[in-house]
Amino acid sequence: MSDKEVAHRYISSRPGRSYRLQEGALHDERTDYNHSSRVKGNNHTQIEDYHVHHYNRRLLASGTISPPIIAILSGVAVFLGVILLALMLVCRKKVKPWFGRLRLCASISPSIPRLKKSRSERSQIFDPSLKAISMREIAKATDNFSPRKLIGDGGFGFVYKATLSDGRIVAVKTLVADGIQGKREFEAEMSTLGHIKHPNLVELLAFCKAGDDRALVYEYIANGSLDTWLHEREDGPRLLTWERRIKLAHGTAKVLAYLHHEYEPHVIHRDIKSSNILVGKDFEAKLADFGLARHMSPLLSHVSTEAAGTLGYVAPECNMTMSASRKSDVYSFGVLMLELVSGCRPNTAPENSKCGTLVKWTHYAIASGKQMDTIDPVLKERGPPFKELTTFLKIASLCTSDSPDNRPTMKEALQQLSQLRTEIAQVRNHTE
């Protein structure tokens, strides 16, 4: 009988143990026999260890399993592993963002929450029409946080579509447990959305906290995010007419002007982008996600903070000075305006353009008198009129100035957009 047959007979005679061929030798999976003196066990285990070691030596000495065969087997294993990984990536379900982000700040990889039993639970209702809510009811409303209910994800948690016991459909945002940044986000959203009411804000209905588990309950916006309309939905760009795009920009400007100039203490959002603008049923803008928001005294020009935001939307000075101001929100809003008119993402520009970003490309086009080149191809079929386009681009260009001092305030940007909407309405009424 060959050494290989002896080894396999030995393995089959001991089904309770797990072995593998390693480096051409029989190896017990439970322990490393090259260091058997460090492993404590009874006499029977020590005898088995001796036999395994003995067969290892015989197999290696006889050269039954040659190095080329080992190399071939290893190559096959690697190839099969790559195939399996590719299949997993292809079959993986894509989640379209309801609202989420890829931020500059250190993010925590979220995991699907598992409800833990906790003696201490605290909740608060902001909508009088909503009954008392508990973490257990939230778990039930999301089918125990089922992936089928997932409508968005971000650096600090997930967003689920949930149906409460009274039949009301809401959006539930869970934040990762044990994450410092997640706790900061929870506190930021509680201190802003929980106390601010505005028609262009996503309404926070309630929150619930049980131990390390935290959940925020929002009104559900069925249309999803502006990012989805511009870049994901096949019919999105066509349905986003020129008038609707201006309306979305105007609504976003209204709520930012309110946060910057009317609400006290003033609020800096710090993460203005298309995926955080939800589209209402009448195409009104709904600003969401205040996880990075900061309160700010009216007497201060900026607040010191870590670099945060989303690539492409972040103002140049934020990374250099490690501070944020109202003018940094203005810059992000200007990028959003350019995204609305062009249909391009902030970090992209036309292939034939030498400019790497949307902001640089648009500034170059305006300076070269090529404003019409910046329009979303879908919009070119029906306008917009050149005068309206140049006015819109002028506001966006000022908002995205490199120097904060050259940017308008959100109040000034709102006034200019309001005037543009009035002029458009007058022209439409006159032609009709």
Residue-wise pLDDT for 246-266, tens only, equals 999 999 999 999 999 999 889
The reported pLDDT for the residue numbered 184 is 66
- Which residue ranges does the chain devote to CATH 1.10.510.10? 226-431
Q: Which residues of the chain have pLDDT under 50?
A: 4, 6-7, 10-62, 90-96, 101-112, 299, 302
Residue 318, both tokens = 């934020």
Type of residue at 149 = K
Alpha helices in 125-170 (DSSP H): 135-141
Helix H or strand E encompassing 256: helix 242-257
CATH 3.30.200.20 boundaries in the chain: 121-219
Looking at domain 121-219, its CATH class is alpha beta
Closest Cα to residue 211, out of 135, 302, 156? 135
Q: Which of 3, 271, 329, 376 is catalytic?
A: 271
Q: What percent of the chain has pLDDT over 90?
A: 43
226-431 domain in CATH 2.40.50.140? no
On whether 173 is known to bind a ligand per the annotation, the reply is yes
Asked whether the beta carbons of 228 and 342 are under 8 A apart, the reply is no
- Best CA proximity match to 204, nearest among 265, 297, 130: 130
Question: CB-based contacts of 232: which residues, under 8 Å, 6+ apart?
Answer: 96
Q: What pLDDT does residue 109 have? A: 40
Which residue matches tokens 């492993």? 39
Q: For residue 310, what are the β-bridge partners?
A: 103
153 noted as active-site residue:
no
Confidence (pLDDT) at 220: 95
Cα angle 94, 95, 96 (rounded to 5 degrees) comes to: 115
